[in-house]
Amino acid sequence: QVQLQESGPGLVKPSGTLSLTCAVSGGSISSTNWWSWVRQPPGKGLEWIGEIYHSGSINYNPSLKSRVTISLDKSKNQFSLKLSSVTAADTAVYFCARRGYPGPFDIWGQGTMVTVAS
Amino acid sequence: ETVLTQSPGTLSLSPGERATLSCRASQSVSSSYLAWYQQKPGQAPRLLIYGTSTRATGIPDRFSGSGSGTDFTLTISRLEPEDFAVYCCQQYGSSPWTFGQGTKVEIK
């Protein structure tokens, strides 16, 4: 079955860029699904960041749109997140997730904690 | 943006009891595109219910969802020890997709 695995630095300096990758295994990233990023600050609720389709279509949460870039690498069967100009408020567990269309987030990665600190 | 408000914030119940969780949307959720997730500490959310009332694969039938428009409910008919967790709702009817803040179901 499809599995997702996030990877990337666990510590990012303020004003820097957060970069994460999600590897997709057990299935193709070119399937009819959207590939999403969701985050969860410590002790808080979930926030959708954005998503990408294999055609290159992208949707971003307007609240983060000016700082977010999501891309996809079909050859490596993975997708990535870049969040620029980070502050302590961006400290969170970052999840990658699969979403059908239309559909909920049915498969999730285990999540990776990213701390913004100097 | 559709804001989802869950109540109560915490539900204290005993195993075997019935749990009723509420999710209210700031505007009507298109096509009843409302999902429920269970999340345990240190774990990713797990999809329980989608389309308001359809159980995801492998979800036991003690979990049920109902509602329409702006008011939705997750019911756990008889709480098992493994059901004590945080539950959150999510709408996927209109972008940006949004989540409720969660209801914690704790052991009384």
Q: What is the pLDDT of residue A102?
A: 84
Q: What is the pLDDT of residue B94?
A: 94
Q: pLDDT tens digits, residue range A20-75? A: 999 999 999 998 899 999 999 999 999 999 999 989 899 999 999 999 999 999 99
Binned at pLDDT 50, 70 and 90, residue B102 comes out as very high
Find where tokens 């700082």 sit. Answer: A67
Contact B66, B75 (CB under 8 A): yes
- Please give the share of chain B, as a percent, with pLDDT higher than 90: 97
Q: pLDDT tens digits, residue range A90-117? A: 999 999 999 988 889 999 999 999 999 9
Between chains, do B99 and A99 touch, taking CB under 8 Å as contact? no
Interface of A with B (CB under 8 A): 44-48, 59, 61-63, 95, 97, 99, 102-106, 108-111
- Please give the share of chain B, as a percent, with pLDDT higher than 70: 100
A46-to-A1, A39, B68, B92, B108 alpha-carbon distances in Å: 25, 6, 22, 14, 26
Binned at pLDDT 50, 70 and 90, residue A86 comes out as very high
Q: What amino acid occupies position A59? A: N
Contact B57, B71 (CB under 8 A): no
- A47 Cα to chain B: minimum distance (Å): 7
Q: Which of A77-81, A98-102, B18-22, B95-99 has the lowest mean pLDDT?
A: A98-102
Q: A15-39 burial, b if ≥16 CB within 10 A, otherwise e?
A: ebebbbbbbbeeeebeeebbbbbbb
Find the residue in B nearest to A50 (Cα).
Answer: B96
Between chains, do B101 and A104 touch, taking CB under 8 Å as contact? no
Mean pLDDT throughout B46-67?
97
Reported residue count of chain A is: 118
